[in-house]
A and B are shown apart, each in its own frame.
Chain A
Amino acid sequence: MSEEPRIGVFVCHCGINIGGYVDVPDVVEYATGLPDVVYAEPNLYMCSSDGLQKIQEAIKKYELNRVVVASCTPRTHEPLFQSACEEAGLNKYVFEMANIRDQCSWVHMHEPKKATQKAKSLVRMAVAKARLLVPEEEPEIDIRPTGLVIGGGVSGLTSALSLADQGFKVHLVEKEDRLGGTLLKLDTLFSSNVKASEVINPLVERVKASTDVTVHLDSRVADVKGFIGSFDVGIETRGEPEMLSVGTIIVATGADYLSPEGLYGYSQVDNVVTQMELEQLFKEGGRLDGVKTLVMIQCAGSRNEERPYCSRVCCTEAIKNAIKLVKENPKRDVYILYRDLQTYGIEFSMMEYDAKKSGVKLVMYDKERLPEVTGGERGPMVRVYSPLLDEELTIETDMVVLSAPIIPNEDNEALSKHLKVPLNSDRFFMEAHVKLRPLDFATDGIYVCGTAHSPKEVAESVSQAKGAASRAGIPMAKGRLKTAAITSVVDEAKCSGCGTCIELCVYNAITKNERGLAQVTSAVCKGCGVCGASCPERAITMRHFTNEELEAQGLAALKEA
């Protein structure tokens, strides 16, 4: 762009996320004084439709030809702001972000003065880069119309079928020797009390019958290479390697249940089982006939220091099973010992109401004074202190049922490394953005659903699975996708044809042209920049990350305000 830069700087409060720690008005005022900045303004939420409109209005009103937004991370919000710029007639590559939330206000919460200073610095760096930005054209790539679904539980089966229904081929990789996942172990599902088998079996049958879905049992993902549109996924089936070529990937690997060893007498006192084992007893039938008194204990291994999260489904599951037990035999005494009963939403709250009406006894316990389970003459003895009654109750029982939490799969760690997608602090897979991109990973072309993402019930998993399949379907339906213009360009006047870049490029994006000089195929180039940083003649420029731009950013950083 030969015209003089006219930069607009937009500083986001992000509610209190930035504004609570960084002096936003001060940053705006500072930005106004930076070179080539002709306009600056704050907004409570820059990413809101109001905020985006303000940017577009300012682009027109102040004839901006560069835009800097100081807010959160470009990894989640850059595309949104870029398309706002495009709608207002600017090329998306004249946009730059300063990450003053994830890499500033959130990590310096106790140092507001220094955080403000750093935010100014980050804005100065972004402006320094923005001054040098130029519009770029985007190359297009092909998207293979084949999806990979990892995991053959209810989420994986649902998303595989949804992809097949959309007309795509699907590879379904399941680590066990049969399809179905956790639902195979459950008797009934809340809130309708439908048999789990009635939900899962038809899905399994449809997948088996589908000519579009190729099922790989006893298989694991061993290696992932490539990008959206052309992933090469190495899997291992009983030790046999195989290579799958797919365009998109859905992670539906589900989760595990905690085996609460040592908690509340589990595997020490007879007749202490988990809700999952109770489901199995329901399925087998018979053994519960003699059970006259039964105590369920909630949060058995969750919401503690080791596992601070709530497993979400256990309260409603306990309620469901308690109702079933008292309805089977109204003389039965069924207790649920809970910390906070989380039967969220009207539907599940109604179940709680039903349980109380049916005579299920709900006893709150205190997390500072946990219930105790010991072996008694008849069965397990439970002692629980009720803070509401301010007294300790002793319950002689036939059976204790522990509501053990859903826990992340052990192999999440390995898979997250193969796919280069993150896990959260609880070791579940983490989406790109909880509200804006809840089913995507930050890495394009990879999506997540079901309990791989967090503990959730079947209906939620199914919704997510269908959503993830729709997300994966978008690029595959289009067949082609514009990719970032962040590619390398060779200056033929400087190139000596030494071939260093050709040897270094893992994508074979660089070849020699008829004059013996290096030539980049933009659509194949992934923009890593290794060639540019290595070129002996310094003849290669990395678009959008040029030496001059990076240098300007660094020098701006050193120029403290």
Chain B
Amino acid sequence: MTGFEPKIIGFLCNWCSYAGADLAGVSRIQYPTNLRIIRVMCSGRVDPALPLGFLAEGADGVMITGCHIGDCHYIDGNLHAKRKYGLLERLVAKAGLEPGRIMLDWVSASEGQRFADIVTGFTDQVRELGPNPAVTDPCVKLNLMAAKAAAEEYRLRALVGKEEKLVTEGNVYGEEMTQEELDRIMEEAVETEFTRNKIRLILSVKPMSVKGLSAETGIDSRIILDHVVALRQRGWVDLHEVQGNSPVYRAMEVQ
């Protein structure tokens, strides 16, 4: 991989990490030029759909940095960042992308050197991984787009949003959940939402039968059928035509 310069996008919180990055500058600490910084007020602002979108569009790596746990300018925004990053990790894995292309870490306003070290380390790590396969492999790109769409859907967002409360206070029936139980539910939901969005994306390009979808995705046709039924109920997919004995489905425009 000679001459490969990774494109890296970094979300930095305004109060700690962005200030830490400024301090690296004031202290003239040198680091690689690959990083492009997007300033956000809080690391908890980083909607997992944003990094997934950038990865789908060819970013070689995305890093998120916030205030140290316990030091958040917004009290616990970085804890939310951590929860959201958990979903991002699951979806990146589901999309088949290397986990090393994303990173979450903490940098305080006084840690210019630490910031530079983190950027250098992450840049080297991504350089080692090579170019993002989504650029050349349409399957990976499709997966990432499906992952992004899943991150934009109600179910996963609601689960992540309620995660803290479900673990600490329990559900509406007062039943507390262990983190393990919640992780299992989350993993199932991620699998379901990812697959459904992938089916929808495939059908938006070209109407297909369940069998065709099964061949395209490598997923058992009975599972595909379940998803297609659910997608029809949501109004995301509808019957396009019947070829022989097989119904062919198409994706609907969703508002």
Do A and B originate from a single complex? Answer: yes
Pair B54/A554 contact, Cβ less than 8 Å = yes
Q: Judging by beta carbons under 8 Å apart, are A554 and B59 in contact? A: yes
Contact, CB under 8 Å: B28 / A530:
no
A99-114 interface code vs B (CB 8 A; 1 in, 0 out):
1011110111111001
Contact of A506 with B75 in the complex, beta carbons under 8 Å: yes
B58→A558 contact, CB < 8 A: yes
Report if A462 contacts B (CB, 8 A).
no
| A 107-131 to B, binary, CB cutoff 8 A, 1 in contact else 0 | 1111100110110011001000000
Closest Cβ neighbor of A125 among chain B residues? B36
A417 CA / B72 CA spacing, docked (Å): 10
- Chain A nearest Cβ from B81, distance in angstroms: 8
> Closest chain A residue to B45 by CB distance?
A529
Pick the contact of B73: A102, A108, A420, A547 (CB < 8 A): A420
B123 to chain A, nearest CB (A): 12
Nearest Cβ on chain A to B247's Cβ, whole angstroms: 31
Q: What are the interface flags for B29-69 relative to A under an 8 Å C-beta threshold, 1 for contact and 0 otherwise?
A: 11101001111111011110110011001110000000110
Q: B57 to A555, Cβ gap below 8 A?
A: yes
Within 8 A of B (CB), among A508-553: 526-530, 532-538, 542, 545, 547, 550-551, 553
Number of A-B contacts (CB under 8 A): 171
A59-77 vs B, Cβ < 8 Å mask (1 yes, 0 no): 0000000000000011100
**Cβ of A528: which chain B residues have Cβ within 8 Å of it?**
41-42, 44-45, 73-74, 77
Q: Is the CB of A498 within 8 A of B40?
A: no
Chain A nearest Cβ from B73, distance in angstroms? 6
Judge whether A503 is part of the interface by a CB distance below 8 angstroms.
yes
Residues of A within 8 A of B59 (CB): 554, 557-558
Given the interface pairs A75-B14, A416-B110, the reply to whether A533 lies near B45 with Cβ below 8 Å is yes
A529 vs B53: C-alpha distance in the bound complex, in angstroms? 19
Is A259 in the interface zone, CB < 8 Å from B? no
- Known interface pairs A422-B109, A529-B40, A534-B160; A107-B30 also in contact (CB < 8 Å): yes
B26 and A554 contacting across the interface, CB-CB below 8 Å: no
B36 touches A530 (CB 8 A): no
Q: Max chain A CB contacts within 10 Å: which of B58, B74, B112? A: B74
Does A271 sit within 8 A of B, measured CB to CB? no
Given known A125-B38, A528-B77, contact A533–B33 (CB-CB < 8 A): no
Q: B80 and A530: CB pair below 8 A?
A: yes
* B40 engages A121 (CB within 8 Å): no
Residues of B151-180 whose CB lies within 8 A of A: 152, 154-155, 157-158, 160-162, 165
- B36: chain A residues at CB < 8 Å are 118, 121-122, 125, 554, 557
A222 at the interface (CB under 8 A from B): no
A315 at the binding interface (Cβ < 8 Å): no
The winner among A103, A106, A527 for most chain B CB atoms within 10 A is: A103
Q: Is the CB of B45 within 8 A of A536?
A: no
| A500–B158 touching, CB < 8 Å | yes
Residues of B within 8 A of A4 (CB): none
Interface status of A211 (Cβ within 8 A of chain B): no
How far in angstroms is the closest Cβ of chain A from B116? 7
Residues in B whose Cβ lies below 8 Å from that of A560: 7
Interfacial residues of chain A within 464-520, with CB under 8 A of chain B in the complex: 486, 498, 500-501, 503-504, 506
Q: Tell me the bound Cα distance from A553 to B24 in angstroms.
A: 22
Q: Are A558 and B57 in contact (CB under 8 A)?
A: yes
When distances are taken between beta carbons in the complex, the residues of chain B under 8 Å from A88 are none
In the complex, residue of chain A having the shortest beta-carbon distance to the beta carbon of B16: A420
Q: How far is the CA of A121 from the CA of B74 in the complex (A)?
A: 30
Contact B154 A536 (CB under 8 A): yes
Residues of B within 8 A of A118 (CB): 33, 36
The one of B22, B46, B67 in contact with A103, judged by C-beta atoms closer than 8 angstroms, is B22
Min Cβ gap B39→A in Å is: 7
Evaluate contact between B44 and A529: CB separation under 8 angstroms. Answer: yes
A283 interface residue (CB < 8 Å to B): no
Tell whether A38 is near chain B: CB-to-CB under 8 Å: no
Taking CB atoms, residues of chain A closer than 8 Å to B126 are none
Given that A115-B33, A486-B41, A555-B54 are contacting pairs, would A526 and B165 also be in contact in the complex, using a CB cutoff of 8 Å? no
How many angstroms from the CA of A526 to the CA of B77 in the assembled complex?
Answer: 11
Q: Do the beta carbons of B45 and A542 come within 8 Å of each other?
A: yes
Inter-chain contacts of B40 with A (CB < 8 A): 529, 545, 550
- Docked complex Cα distance between A106 and B108 (Å): 19
Does A529 lie within 8 Å of B41, measured CB to CB?
yes
Asked whether any CB of chain B lies closer than 8 Å to the CB of A458, the reply is no
**In this assembly, does B245 line the interface, its C-beta being within 8 Å of a C-beta of chain A?**
no
Contact A534 B19, beta carbon cutoff 8 Å: no
A277 to chain B, nearest CB (A): 32
B7 contacts across to A, CB distance below 8 A: 557-558, 560
Is A425 among interface residues, defined by CB-CB distance under 8 A? yes
Q: Please state if B26 and A106 are interface contacts (CB–CB under 8 Å).
A: yes
Question: B9 in the interface, Cβ–Cβ < 8 Å?
Answer: yes
In the complex, whether A442 has a CB less than 8 A from a CB of chain B is: yes
A349 within 8 A of B: no
A102 to chain B, nearest CB (A): 3
- How far is A101 from B162 in the complex, measured between Cα atoms in Å? 41
Shortest C-beta distance, A115 to chain B (Å), equals 6
Q: How far is the CB of A451 from chain B (nearest CB, A)?
A: 18
Query: Quick one: CB contact mask for B216-248 with A, threshold 8 Å, 1 for yes?
Result: 000000000000000000000000000000000
Residues on A with beta carbons closer than 8 Å to the beta carbon of B157: 500, 534-536, 538
A410 CB → nearest B CB, Å: 15
Q: Which residues of A contact B46 (CB under 8 A)?
A: 533
Q: Using A103-B22, A554-B53 as known contacts, say yes or no to A109 and B28 having CB atoms under 8 A apart.
A: yes
B15 contacts the other chain (CB 8 A): yes
Report the minimum CB–CB distance from A78 to chain B (whole Å). Answer: 10
Q: Does A225 lie at the interface of the complex (its beta carbon under 8 Å from any beta carbon of B)? A: yes
Tell me which of B22, B84, B112 contacts A533 (CB under 8 A): B84
Q: How far is the CA of A500 from the CA of B83 in the complex (A)?
A: 14
**B121 within 8 A of partner (CB):** no
Does B71 sit at the interface, judged by CB under 8 A? yes
A420-B109, A554-B54 in contact; A530/B30 too (CB < 8 A)?
no
Chain B residue with the shortest CB-CB distance to A443: B15
CA distance A416 to B16 in the complex (A): 11
Known: A503-B165, A529-B44, A530-B77. A99 touches B37 (CB 8 A): yes
User: Contacts of A530 on B, CB cut-off 8 Å?
Assistant: 42, 44-45, 74, 77, 80
Q: Cβ of B22: which chain A residues have Cβ within 8 Å of it?
A: 73, 75, 99, 102-103
> Does B147 sit at the interface, judged by CB under 8 A?
no
Against A, the Cβ 8 Å flags (1 = close, 0 = not) of B125-166 are 000000000000000000000000000101101101110010
| Contact indicator B161/A554 (Cβ below 8 Å) | no
Question: Can you report 14 residue pairs joining A to B where beta carbons are below 8 Å apart?
Answer: A75-B18, A75-B22, A101-B25, A108-B31, A111-B33, A121-B36, A417-B68, A422-B23, A528-B44, A533-B44, A534-B161, A550-B50, A551-B50, A553-B38
Closest 9 CB pairs of A and B: A529-B45, A102-B25, A557-B36, A106-B25, A500-B161, A528-B42, A528-B74, A530-B44, A422-B109
In addition to A125-B38, A503-B161, A554-B36, 7 A-B residue pairs with Cβ atoms within 8 Å of each other are A75-B14, A107-B30, A225-B75, A534-B157, A535-B161, A542-B41, A545-B45
